[in-house]
Amino acid sequence: MIVTLTPNPSLDRTVALPGPLVRGGVNRLTSVVTDPGGKGVNVARVLVSSGAEVTTVLPAAEHDPLRAALDAVAQPGLTVTAVTVPGAARVNTAVTEPDGTTTKINEPGAELGQAGRAAIEEALLAAVGAGGRTGEGDGAGWAILSGSLPPGAPTDWYARLVTLLRPTGVSIAVDTSDAPLAALAAALPDAAPDLIKPNGEELGQLAGLPAERAMALEDGALAGDLAPVVDAARVLVDRGVTAVMATLGPAGGVLVTAEGAWHAPAPAIDVVSTVGAGDSSVATQPADAAAEVHAFAAKSEPTPPTSASDLEPISPADADPVDDLPF
């Protein structure tokens, strides 16, 4: 069983345009779709579609439309644990163009105070149970903490959650960005999760690379130079993270552990939308880290997990060291 946490859930509204977005003009839509969202919710839905048993924990007001949206997409194997809090869930809007260009407009979310955070922590620990890493019995094998943090939550809340969960023996994955990701990195190795999933730019920032070099990691990988990605990920592995799974858009994904590094190339496809692509990568069989790297970054729909035999080993001899690393 797998548990996901979405501290800042949303109603995701995807609107499609018949042509390029016209800034400052009138844009007429061809379709509007509203789904329950937030990274942990997206991860849970992909996992359940793959046959996993999942409990997803999230805050939601008693009569929040988010609850009705979750009921509308109910699936066998998916248990929703909604912790009642004041304030409505945010509405995030994704504007998609025919060529796959996606513009995201995200609300900050409702304020989550100390009482709400304590209730969520209690619900998360209850969902995880005492099953440990084997996932046997009633306990969870993995806890996946995903997404942004709502207003009112301290930036180091994920680091606190990792330390709270660690005594249960559950494996822990974290997928976040910006200040919460930086706070998690600052708390290493004490708050080191078993898996983190940064994109190229986030990975470079975590490794202390200058902004230009961090932003260039994905472009370099697309050109075939994976060495800087591997070296940046090894900085985090050396600081206690068991596995770093970096998603690199059309360049695919790279998994780095203490045992080695592997590359999963992305198939060449026509991009429809990138919404949920990174979330889908987190959902690829977290019980087997070597098999979970998957090139989802340009996909419009989730696909079955990549097997370990599909991954391409990266020889350490092929990786030139990345200099200027701060650790």
Interatomic CA distance for residues 286 and 140, integer angstroms:
12
Task: pLDDT tens for the chain, 327 residues: list them.
Answer: 899 999 999 999 999 999 999 999 999 999 999 999 999 999 999 899 888 899 999 999 989 999 999 999 999 999 999 999 998 999 999 999 998 899 999 999 999 999 999 999 999 999 998 434 434 455 678 999 999 999 999 999 999 999 999 999 999 999 999 999 999 999 999 999 999 999 999 999 888 888 889 889 999 998 999 999 999 999 999 999 999 999 998 899 999 999 999 998 888 888 776 767 778 788 764 544 333 433 332 332 222 333 333 445 554 334 333 333 222
Q: Is 178 a catalytic residue?
A: no
Contact 48, 280 (CB under 8 A): no
- Measured from the Cβ of residue 161, the count of other Cβ atoms closer than 10 Å reads 24
Q: Are strands 90-96 and 10-16 parallel, antiparallel or unpaired?
A: parallel
For the stretch 7-41, what's the b/e string if a residue is b when 16 or more beta carbons lie within 10 angstroms of its beta carbon? bbbbbbbbbbbeeeeeeeeeeeeeeeeebbbbbbb
The boundaries of every CATH 3.40.1190.20 domain in the chain are: 1-193
Q: What is the CA radius of gyration of the chain?
A: 19
Side-by-side strand order, sheet with 90-96:
31-37, 10-16, 90-96, 102-105
Interatomic CA distance for residues 300 and 251, integer angstroms:
16
Q: Which pLDDT belongs to residue 324?
A: 31
Q: Domain 1-193 - what CATH class?
A: alpha beta
DSSP string of 67-91, one letter each residue: HHHHHHT--TTEEEEEEE-SSPPEE
Catalytic entry in 64, 190, 279, 323: 279
The distance of Cα 289 from the centroid of its chain, to the nearest Å, equals 15
